[in-house]
Amino acid sequence: MVLSQDELRSLVEARNRCPHQLLGLHPLGDGSGLVGRALLPGAAKVEMHPVHEPAMPVIRLKRIPKTDLFEGVTKGATRVYACDLVITDHAGNILRTRDPYSFLPTLGESDLYLFGKGDERRIYEKLGAQLRTMDGVPGASFAVWAPNAQRVSVVGDLNDWDGRVHMMRSLGSSGVWEIFIPGVGEGAHYKFEIRDTQGNVALKTDPFGFFFEMPPKNAAIVWNTRKFAWTDEPWLAQRRRSDPLRSPMSVYEVHLGSWRKKSPSESLSYRELAGPLVDYVREMGFSHVEFLPVAEHAFYPSWGYQVTGFYASTSRYGTPDDFQFLVNALHEAGIGVIVDWVPAHFPRDEWALARFDGTALFEHEDPRKGAHQDWGTLIFNFGRHEVRNFLIANALYWCERFHIDGLRVDAVASMLYLDYSRKEGEWIPNQYGGRENLEAIEFLRSFNHITHTEFPGVLTIAEESTAWPLVTRPPYLGGLGFSLKWNMGWMHDTLNYFCLDPVFRKYHQNDLTFAMLYHHHENFILPLSHDEVVHGKRSLLGRMPGDDWQRFANMRTLVGYQWVFPGKVLLFMGGELGQSAEWNANGEVDWWLLNAGPFHRGLQRFIKDLNAVYRMIPSLWQADYDLPGFFWLDCSDHENSVMSFVRQNSQGCDPVLVVLNLTPVPRMGYRLGLPCPGKWEEVINSDAEIYGGSNLGNLGGVVAGEIQSHGHAWSAEFTLPPLSLMVFRPKKG
């Protein structure tokens, strides 16, 4: 035996940090020949055969007694050459494979340097499981960051889950471990077996895994996410040229598992969803869909917000190729795709990121910085370069490999504040004694800058519920750099108002006008999201007061107001047909309601027509964030609960009048000033009979005469239907 006893024990006990220095083929210390070694449980006989140089000797390895380690020496060569292992098991079966310990590392010094610096933007091409060919041999390289581990092995169906077979080498101070394993193909299941500094051994799933077993199983699956044949280049080219802030944007928010089901217990797959979802969204006229998190998550009731596989689309609905198919189909139909992205926290599952190498690697050690008290989840250590790299590269991965058009960042407020949902003594101030999470702020600025630089036209959207300033302003101006921010204040104020019995609304009209006092501070999107139809809040329709007629009239007016108010819009599935019950992630949208009476069909038809009007009239979206884009005509008629305002383009031209009557009392002869004379067409009226209304209106429009009103030289008398929204514009020609 050429090995020392310490070296032998380090291999047999699977404790060696650099197995490539001992296993494989190596020169003898005196230069007189070569020694070959292989650790192969279950082998009866092992030989090393030359691959490219047949003149080189075959080396027969002998088992070292009482071990599964084989060793052999040859004096017939002094230069290392490429070898295959020819393995005979106890049943006489023969396997020939390239020696996995004969390959150079698949990561270079520059890769490791950039990763350690937090700036390897394509680290997902280096870490994890990468299908590749080395020296003409197909297989997969495996690499994982575990700087505090004693030993790391790849285990899986490729080696009977035995951590002795494919021990990885440590690539120095980078903390990265690596090995190339010949013959591994797409579909192989694997994990990392990690021995920590205390000698404890744990199985961990791959942080960079591209595909996973169906939960509750959690092994990663080797997969190539580059092979899908995309056909959406016209969409991507148009996206690169467009300015999303000056484009129409109405978003249909979807939970993939409960939009439509195949059976009560089985959801549609990504490919099965593609046809009906594309047809429905296109028919309804939405410009985008937004998916609740599609990244892999073990706990279905988390709706995807407790991510265990940040680089994998969930296997519940198919393969990564299947999700790419769905995105491609939406793009071909001219529909953008936004996904919820969750960099704020991750769950404590022992097989995932938590204490990954036996230490607080991705999270903070101190729970006052590293744990969410309310959610029971862990917080990323945003100040650690490798963690920041993991997350920013993840954002780029979704944009590159899945052609995602927007990332809606969940729970931004929880990232910004060190004392978020914490009592005194449960948090640690920053270095200046403040409550701001300086590392998270810098992370968000970097994420936004890099994403917008690498993928022009891709949106980043903040779900941020506080008054943090400059969320949607560039980092060079001191902002966070998001494209858009959810206007949670508008959502709360508006829903609070519409929940009121109309008799009390005259005392609360400021709830609807307040949003314009801060509107130009940010680029807002107006959400009526999934969060507003769960946990006992009731459905949107369920919040509306009155009998069925009034509830649906209120609902039409609510969504109409949302669509024509400055800002982009988002509506959660089911809201468009007036779902009566709260959203149930285990069920599906109550499509049967469309056959339950005219009100549900009428609301759906109204939103379809509303989308058509919205996209047809640039003044309703082209200047959402410009001062000329909006002015109140009259927001002070509290007594009648009537409001009116004008939308225009950025040049202050092409006016559009919006009038809301927010009580069930019709108003006849109601005079409003108008910015120009002539005929004003009634473009849409929420009280139309086809929507389930009373069909009261203005016979197609009004004529503005020279009677001063509301600061304008012209005005007209309007008939205001009960609980209604109407939109007018000057008749052209």
Reported as a single tens digit per residue, the pLDDT across 384-430 is: 999 999 999 999 999 999 999 999 999 999 999 999 999 888 899 99
- In angstroms, the Cα distances linking 125 to 106, 115, 137, 176 are 11, 12, 19, 14
Residue 31: what pLDDT?
87
Instruction: Provide CB contacts within 8 A for 490, sequence distance 6+.
Output: 515, 524, 526, 565, 567
Q: Cα separation of 58 and 199, whole Å?
A: 38
Residue 4 has pLDDT above 90, yes or no: no
Q: What's the average model confidence in pLDDT over 257-270?
A: 94
Distance, in Å, from the CA atom of 568 to the CA atom of 611, rounded to the nearest integer, reads 12
pLDDT exceeds 90 at position 540: yes
**3-state SS, residue 578:** coil
Q: What does the pLDDT look like over 576-601, one tens digit per residue? A: 999 999 999 999 999 999 998 899 99
Contact 309, 342 (CB under 8 A): no
pLDDT digits (tens, 9 = 90+) for 139-159: 999 999 999 999 999 999 999
* pLDDT (0 to 100) of residue 181: 97
Copy the structure tokens of residue 625.
């964030």
At 597 the pLDDT is 83
- Catalytic amino acids? 410, 463
pLDDT digits (tens, 9 = 90+) for 460-479: 999 999 999 999 999 999 99
What pairing do the DSSP bridges indicate for beta strands 24-27 and 34-39?
A: antiparallel
Give 65-86 pLDDT, tens digit per residue: 999 999 999 998 999 999 999 9
CA-based torsion, 256, 262, 268, 273: positive or negative: negative
Reported as half-sphere exposure (CB side, CA atoms, 13 A), residue 9 has a value of 3
Which one, of 615, 652, 612, lies nearest residue 630 by Cα?
652
The angle formed by the CA atoms of residues 388, 525 and 622, to the nearest 5 degrees, is 115
Q: Is the omega angle on the peptide bond into residue 216 within 30 degrees of 0, that is, cis?
A: yes
**Distance, CA of 280 to CA of 278 (rounded, Å):** 6
Task: Look over the chain and give the mean of its residue pLDDT values, rounded to a whole number.
Answer: 96
Lowest mean pLDDT: which of 87-91, 255-259, 716-720?
Answer: 87-91
> Residue 321 pLDDT > 70, yes or no?
yes
* pLDDT digit string, tens, across residues 168-218: 999 999 999 999 999 999 999 999 999 999 999 999 999 999 999 999 999
705 CA to centre of own chain: 53
pLDDT above 90 covers what percent of the chain? Answer: 94
**What domains does the chain contain, in order, with CATH numbers?**
5-102 (2.60.40.10), 109-221 (2.60.40.10)
- Using CA atoms, how far apart are residues 132 and 709, in angstroms rounded to an integer? 74
Quick one: pLDDT at residue 375? 87
Q: What is the pLDDT of residue 96?
A: 94
Task: Provide the token pair at 137.
Answer: 């041999």
Q: Pick the more confident residue, 9 or 311.
A: 311
Give pLDDT tens digits for 611-650. 999 999 999 999 999 999 999 999 999 999 999 999 999 9
The pLDDT of residue 565: 98
pLDDT at 3 (0 to 100): 85
254 has a pLDDT exceeding 90: yes
The H or E element spanning position 386 is: helix 385-402
pLDDT over 70, % of the chain: 100
| For residue 733, pLDDT beyond 80 | no
Read off the pLDDT of each residue in 101-105 and give the average, rounded to a whole number: 94
User: What's residue 373's pLDDT?
Assistant: 82
Cα separation, 558 vs 607, whole angstroms: 11
User: Helix, strand, or coil here: 550?
Assistant: helix
Q: What is the pLDDT of residue 30?
A: 87
pLDDT of residue 1: 64
Residue 42: predicted pLDDT: 87
Contacts 24+ apart (CB under 8 A), 546-551: 546/501, 546/502, 546/664, 548/599, 549/599, 549/692, 550/502, 550/664, 550/723
Whether 277 has a pLDDT exceeding 90, the answer reads: yes
261 within 8 A of 277, measured Cβ to Cβ: no
Contact by Cβ (8 Å): 437, 416 = yes
